[in-house]
Amino acid sequence: MNRILNKIRVLFDIRHLYYLPQFLPVAQAMESAGSFEVYYSAYIDKARRDQQLIKKAILTFSENFIDADNEKARRAKILSLNFDVTFFGKSAHADEYCSADTLAVLLYHGIGVKSCYYTDYHPRINVRYVESQYRYDELKHRGVTTELVVSGFPKLDLLFEIQDNKPTLTIPELDPEKPTILYAPTFYPASIEVFGDSLAELTAGCNLIVKLHHFSWLLKKYRRHSGLMQNMSEKYAHVHLIPPEQYNIVPLYKIADLLLTEASSTAFEFLATGKPVIVCDFYHLRLKHRLFHRAFRKRRLDTEILPLLDFADHIEMPQQLPEAIQEAITKSAKYRQRIVGKAEFFMGNLDGKASQRIVQDLLTRFK
């Protein structure tokens, strides 16, 4: 690797494909600034499926992908290159991928309704960029001593680049006369098993776009989700399943009239569109989590942020979905009034410049 004189060398260390929508706006802002030399690498597991998907995506716009035969060799190669900055979407094992002089940055991969948003705290991280003052205050309140910088949420920068008359994504099969529902369930606990085939019937008067969590494609224990939705999309013309290679959900936010999800990051992200959100308060749990449900919720979920999902419409059983869709669409103006200030509260400054703020902060550090 030939170093470009006087440029800040940056590595984006990518654990999973779904980290890319958060990282790429920052990387693109760095390229535009001209002061950075940007590289990418992806964690290698035994199956290599995720790593190969990430590599394929990166090579469509950059040749700077660091690969190796196995994870041990990849780690050694990264350390030998002694990057100035390394970005992580999750902080675990950050010390194993950073040289002593590397600035270790945590840009968390999601807004997070899970408790790991606060417990993902490795002492090797030098600075963490957070989306809003609310999150900054919560992290400080919970004793996190890492330097925190409020930047906004880079993943949503793309939302402000998409012009209303120039969408970056089109789905030709959508009926323009029908409302479009974006169903974006998480991988666990998910509402998919509870809906089953009834989801297609309950949305018969709509276009239904299904964007599964990446783990529903990748991990064997959740692959029944993608199997169920593939069968549904083949059987029903109004159901459109997004393939795993199409990893960025943000362009779908522009197309959709309404989001259907559980307590997930997408519920908060979709606030930036001003369009309605329906949250499913039902989901499938493993037996041990049904038996110890309270302990499961407390351990896995951020119980303080869950009540703040009051901006969404909630349903307690699948049969309530058609009425909830009708009400959400017909009363969308009232919904917009109800969410005034909510998007900024959770995601900070929504001006499409979160990535630029991160870049400027780094430039200041390396003057």
Which tens digits make up the pLDDT trace of 99-135? Answer: 999 999 999 987 766 666 777 789 999 999 999 999 9
Residue written as tokens 């270790």?
104
pLDDT at 20: 96
Q: Does 159 reside within a domain?
A: no
Q: Which CATH number belongs to the domain containing residue 57 in this structure?
A: 3.40.50.2000
Q: 202 and 141, same structural domain?
A: no
Q: 135 and 25, same structural domain?
A: yes
Q: 218 and 138, same structural domain?
A: no
Q: Does 119 reside within a domain?
A: yes
pLDDT at 293: 57
Q: 185 and 113, same structural domain?
A: no
What does pTM read for this prediction?
Answer: 0.90
Residuewise pLDDT in 10s, the chain (367 residues): 445 568 999 999 999 999 999 999 999 999 999 999 999 999 998 777 899 999 999 999 999 999 999 999 999 999 999 999 999 999 989 999 999 999 999 999 877 666 667 777 899 999 999 999 999 999 999 899 999 999 999 999 999 886 554 555 668 789 999 999 999 998 778 889 999 889 999 999 999 999 999 988 888 888 888 999 999 999 999 999 999 999 999 999 999 999 999 888 899 999 999 999 999 988 766 655 555 456 555 555 556 666 778 899 999 999 999 999 999 988 888 888 888 889 999 999 999 999 999 999 999 999 8
Q: 208 and 133, same structural domain?
A: no
Q: Does 322 reside within a domain?
A: yes
Q: Does 200 reside within a domain?
A: yes
Tens digits of residue pLDDT in 61-90 = 999 999 999 999 999 999 999 999 999 999
Q: Does 63 reside within a domain?
A: yes
Q: 298 and 215, same structural domain?
A: yes
Q: Tell me the one-letter amino acid at 234.
A: E
- Residue/partner pairs of 149-152 with CB below 8 Å, 24 or more apart: 149/358, 149/361, 150/348, 151/348, 151/354, 151/357, 151/358, 151/361, 152/347, 152/348, 152/349, 152/350, 152/351, 152/353, 152/354, 152/357
Chain mean pLDDT for the chain: 89
pLDDT at 316: 93
Q: 173 and 85, same structural domain?
A: no
At 160, is the secondary structure helix, strand, or coil?
A: helix
pLDDT at 167: 52
State the distance between the two ends of the chain, measured CA to CA, in whole angstroms: 24
Q: 175 and 134, same structural domain?
A: no
pLDDT at 360: 97
Which class for 221: exposed (0-12), middle (13-18), buried (19 or more C-beta within 10 A)? exposed
- Cα separation, 197 vs 228, whole angstroms: 8
Element (H, E) at 86: strand 85-88
Q: 239 and 218, same structural domain?
A: yes
Q: Does 3 reside within a domain?
A: no
Q: Does 73 reside within a domain?
A: yes
- Cα separation, 155 vs 55, whole angstroms: 19
Q: 212 and 140, same structural domain?
A: no
- DSSP assignment, residue 7? P
Of residues 240, 252, 298, 274, the one with CA closest to residue 350? 274
Q: 77 and 225, same structural domain?
A: no
Q: 229 and 148, same structural domain?
A: no
CB 128 within 8 A of CB 149: yes
pLDDT at 111: 79
* HSE-up of residue 301 (Cα within 13 Å, Cβ side): 21
Q: Which CATH number belongs to the domain containing residue 326 in this structure?
A: 3.40.50.12580
Cis bond leading into 189, ω under 30°? yes
Of residues 162, 154, 158, 156, the one with CA closest to residue 26? 154
Domain span at residue 124 reads 8-153+349-365
Q: Tell me the one-letter amino acid at 182.
A: L
* HSE-up of residue 215 (Cα within 13 Å, Cβ side): 10
What domain count does the chain have? 2
- Cα separation, 79 vs 135, whole angstroms: 32
Q: Does 2 reside within a domain?
A: no
- Cα separation, 216 vs 54, whole angstroms: 16
Tens digits of residue pLDDT in 133-172 = 999 999 999 899 999 999 999 999 999 886 554 555 668 7
